[in-house]
Chains A and B, each alone.
Chain A
């Protein structure tokens, strides 16, 4: 069952991806083919099988909830595309 153009547009909106008309059309075909293949999984009987929650045996450490030194503000702002007065700068969100 191929994805519709509307579905592709909805997924792209959820993923915050701006796509050209050509990309939408190409991804529609490619994702439909991949999903067709993946649907093979539906044939598997998983009644009473618990979902995997973790494959790490012996892990799951929680640290004490205490404040610790982290990276400096300067270091963290160094890679930002736009900075003003020690903060990330973005366009206004509220008018």
Chain B
């Protein structure tokens, strides 16, 4: 960004370099569903004119991202660009509005270069559920990038783009960030507007950012965060400027307490993941933090709670796709048959499964046993976090039980795929922020990630901790050879 301001490089050069690298690597990665090359280059030219004028007037831009290209997960609306949510049921849909999170970044000068691949309606942990084909992990293209924001994570990891937006309903920013070795933030629920986001589980959905460093993630986050009249669940909590300490501060984390929950180190976790996380915790300890073992006793119930509540909310949210107002229609004699055929013909298998699970959990005779019980258990999970945060400022844990798995590993076994989310779901259920960042590599050369979870609206604590870690380690600087 400083290079742009000083005229050492231009927004056009930067945008062209991104597009050239995308062109070269897309055949092996498939991170993007749509490239807005022409509009991006036109906006870059406009940004360069503005930067030149500012230099001439010897003044600074008020737009912190002026001329910086970014990528947007294809579940967020950008006016005039196709938005598919990875689904055939939205094929050809061009939204007439822009999501608030994207709009704020555009107002800050960012240039949208394209839309990234995602599991259909953000339902999945690998991008294998995208109706438009899987994204490949840049560290090993035979493996998944994680999901559902796998396109965004792969694009940042492969240096196709400096930063990208993702969304996180059950881990969909953090898990792909971990699998691809980048930094990814799921903010507090209600921190970033959901206006213009294709709804999945509305009490869980969060818009987040992925970039190489905690510092870059913080820049995007601070621009996106804050109350939006178009989303009634956004909070008034102030978004204060996040102050990062310099590398010369000896104990930057002094006074901060980290909790390590014993329930997150269970049988089935890859030994190198556990070792990587424990090693990273001791690095944070070396930077002045205090480390305590804690307990989040209801962790094992997060998975069943999530796979009742998220499908229940999805079954209601996805009722709008009916072949009448937008998206393709499979023509039939009656309106009811249009609904049946269009939905049955255009939704993919995972989406159909979750809609059916949700309908079942909400149906007469089962509501109390499933939905009602899950909402009560969700209260217990929230209380676990409240109690933990009486003792510690943040919680350190693995992001996923393993590093990136091979494409096709879970075949047609949806339950095995759900188990991938076991460590990320609790933060969504409790509405607390979570930040994933790379803390090492396994023997196969795949990135190992760690997540920090924090108190509501205390994203700054997590970002400062990760930043301090990134000042003394270089995992986040390593790039896949492509």
The reply to whether A38 and B233 form a contact with Cβ atoms under 8 Å apart is no
Of B335, B352, B415, which is within 8 A of A91 by CB? Answer: B335
Q: What CA separation (Å) do A56 and B456 show in the bound complex?
A: 9
In the bound complex, residues from chain A placing their C-beta under 8 Å from that of B457 are 57
Q: How far is the CA of A16 from the CA of B351 in the complex (A)?
A: 13
Whole-angstrom distance between the alpha carbons of A53 and B324 in the complex? 32
User: Is B96 in contact with A91, judged by CB distance below 8 angstroms?
Assistant: no
Task: Collect the chain B residues with CB atoms within 8 Å of residue A33's CB.
Answer: 415
Task: Please determine whether A34 and B96 come into contact, CB atoms closer than 8 angstroms.
Answer: no
Chain B contacts of A88 at CB under 8 A?
Answer: 324-325
CB pair A44–B377 under 8 Å, yes or no, is yes
Set A18, A26, A34, A82: member contacting B415, Cβ < 8 A: A34
Partner of B382, one of A11, A31, A52, A59: A52
Inter-chain CA distance A8–B363, complex, in Å, is 12
When the two chains form their complex, are residues A46 and B377 in contact, meaning their CB atoms are under 8 A apart?
A: yes
Shortest Cβ distance from residue B315 to the other chain A in the assembled complex, whole angstroms: 7
Secondary structure at chain A's binding surface: helix, strand, loop or mixed?
A: loop
Contacts of B375 in A (CB 8 A): 51-53
Contact yes or no, B431 A71, CB < 8 A: no
Decide: A49 near B339, CB < 8 A? Known: A40-B304, A58-B235, A59-B234. Answer: no
Nearest A residue to B305 via CB reads A41
Contact-residue bracket for chain A:
35 or more
Query: Does A21 have its Cβ within 8 Å of any Cβ on chain B?
Result: no
Question: Of B53-61, B276-284, B366-374, which binds chain A?
Answer: B366-374
> Are A18 and B324 closer than 8 Å at their CB atoms?
no
B236 / chain A contacts, CB cutoff of 8 Å? 58-59
B301 within 8 A of partner (CB): yes
- A31 to B415 CA separation, bound complex (whole angstroms): 9
Set A39, A76, A81: member contacting B323, Cβ < 8 A: A81
Option from A40, A51, A79 in Cβ contact (under 8 Å) with B327: A79
Interface 1/0 per residue, B437-467 and A, CB below 8 Å: 0000000000000000000110000000000
- Please encode chain B, from 204 to 239, with 1 for each CB lying within 8 Å of some chain A CB and 0 for all others: 000000000000000000000001010011111100
**C-alpha spacing A62/B231, complex, angstroms:** 10
B363 touches A31 (CB 8 A): no
CB distance from A68 to the nearest CB of B (A): 10
**Chain A stretch 76-95: residues in CB contact (< 8 A) with chain B:** 76, 78-82, 88, 90-91, 93
Interface of chain B residues 362 through 391 with chain A (CB within 8 A):
363, 369-370, 372-380, 382
Between A and B, 11 residue pairs with Cβ closer than 8 Å are A15-B356, A17-B352, A38-B308, A41-B373, A46-B373, A46-B377, A54-B203, A56-B189, A58-B190, A81-B323, A90-B324
Top-6 shortest CB links A-B: A55-B431, A18-B344, A51-B375, A56-B190, A79-B326, A81-B329
The chain A residues found within 8 Å of chain B, CB to CB, are: 8, 11-12, 14-19, 23, 26-27, 30-31, 33-35, 37-42, 44, 46, 49-63, 71, 75-76, 78-82, 88, 90-91, 93
